[in-house]
Amino acid sequence: MQFSTLLALAPLLLLPIPTTHATSSPPATPKSTFLFTADLTLGAALPPIDIPGGTRLLTPVTGGTITGPALNATVTGGTAYPLFRNKMTVEEPEIIVFGTTDKNGTFFGTLAGVGSPVDQIVRIVIEIGGPYAYLNESFIEGEIVRGSSGSTVVNAFLIEKAS
């Protein structure tokens, strides 16, 4: 672009930027709807990997169940591979799972987020077809908690814009 063209466009930089909030009130809180609980069974962890800035753990997901009003499925495999930073006080959980639905379909899911080793929030992305295909386009948030017998439990919620 030539300098003369840039000079001609300069007055546009002085135009006010439109805002979506005409008042000083806070934005509306998004709507949250419970979708499902995933109870993941973990195998034996591999030796940790020390990397710059932290430690990566690798643990196979050997099975599990997903139950709830939005999805029912069996987890047949996957991997949990969290990254611990700051002397193990901050965790970046990452999990990949796959399996079959109660409608004989296949699914693939990824979870990634942040939190302390005992309090984690993740974004869940699901690739799935059939009657569950709408979950592909949904914004799903989850909380990870420790389940009984050493399992990992993920409670999943659909997050929608407030009306």
Which residues constitute the domain of residue 106? 30-160
pLDDT at 146: 84
The model's pLDDT over 92-129, given as tens digits with 9 standing for 90+, comes to 999 999 999 999 999 999 999 998 877 899 999 999 99
Residue 61 within any structural domain of the chain: yes
Count of residues making up the chain: 163
Maximum Cα interatomic distance, the chain, rounded to a whole number of Å: 70
The CATH number of whichever domain residue 142 belongs to comes to 2.40.160.20
The set of residues, in sequence order, having a beta carbon less than 8 Å from that of 22 and lying 6+ positions away, is none
> Which pLDDT belongs to residue 148?
77
12: in domain:
no
Q: How far apart are CA 64 and CA 71, in angstroms?
A: 13
Query: Using alpha carbons only, what angle is made at residue 97 by residues 103 and 55, rounded to the nearest 5 degrees?
Result: 170
What's the pTM value of the predicted model, to 2 decimals?
0.80
| pLDDT for position 140 | 97
Q: Residue 24 domain-assigned?
A: no
Check pLDDT > 70 for residue 19: no
Is residue 106 situated within a structural domain?
yes
**In the chain, where does DSSP find H-type helix?**
3-9
Is 56 part of any domain? yes
> pLDDT, tens digit, for every residue of 37-46?
999 999 999 9
Distances (CA, A) of 63 to 41, 59, 105, 137: 5, 12, 16, 25
